């Protein structure tokens, strides 16, 4: 009588040494895949850059003093940009006036923060 379903092909015989090598390769591949995924998906956080000691704000300065100093610096920068724009013409003048306006807006924001810190001013 003929069989309708053929016998499965004979399985290749491997030695225990070959099986161990295949298992070792699988472990190495999995480790390499894990390292690659960790490198791209879980990067280590960047180490904080130590501040330069050349220009440093004293750590215990109060907020009001910092804001007052920032306000004065921004007012000076606004005046310099305005004076510089007076010497220019065309596109350069427009650029200098835009810089002056940005500085002036920052000065207004610092003034508002200063008002909140010391409302009696």
Name, in order, each residue with C-beta under 8 angstroms of 118's C-beta and a sequence gap of 6 or more.
Answer: 64
Burial (Cβ within 10 Å: 0-12, 13-18, ≥19) of residue 66: middle
To the nearest whole number, what is the mean pLDDT of the chain?
83
Task: Summarize pLDDT for 30-62 with one digit per residue, the tens.
Answer: 898 888 888 888 877 778 877 677 777 788 888
CB 78 within 8 A of CB 103: yes
- Residue 120's pLDDT is 62
| Cα gap 54→59, rounded to integer Å | 14
Q: Residue 121 — very low, low, confident or very high, per pLDDT cuts 50/70/90?
A: low
- Assign 103 a pLDDT band (cuts: 50, 70, 90): very high
Question: Residue 77 contacts by C-beta under 8 Å, 6 or more apart in sequence?
Answer: 103
Q: What is the pLDDT of residues 70-90, one digit of tens each?
A: 989 999 999 999 999 999 899
pLDDT confidence of 105, banded at 50, 70, 90?
very high
Encoded tokens for 99: 């810089």
Q: 3-class SS at 1?
A: coil
Q: Max alpha carbon distance in the chain (Å)? A: 110
Write the CB contacts of 106 (distance below 8 Å, at least 6 apart in sequence). 74
């Amino acid at each position: 009588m003929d069989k309708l379903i053929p016998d499965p092909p004979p399985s290749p015989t491997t030695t225990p040494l070959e099986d161990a090598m295949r298992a070792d390769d699988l472990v190495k591949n999995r480790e390499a895949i894990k390292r690659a995924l960790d490198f791209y998906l879980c990067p280590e956080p960047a180490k904080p850059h130590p501040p330069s000691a050349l220009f440093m704000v004293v750590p215990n300065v109060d907020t009001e003093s910092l804001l007052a100093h920032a306000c004065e610096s921004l007012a000076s920068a606004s005046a310099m940009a305005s004076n510089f724009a007076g010497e220019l013409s065309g596109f350069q003048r427009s650029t200098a006036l835009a810089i002056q306006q940005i500085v002036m807006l920052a000065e207004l924001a610092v003034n508002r923060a200063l008002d909140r810190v010391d409302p009696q001013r």
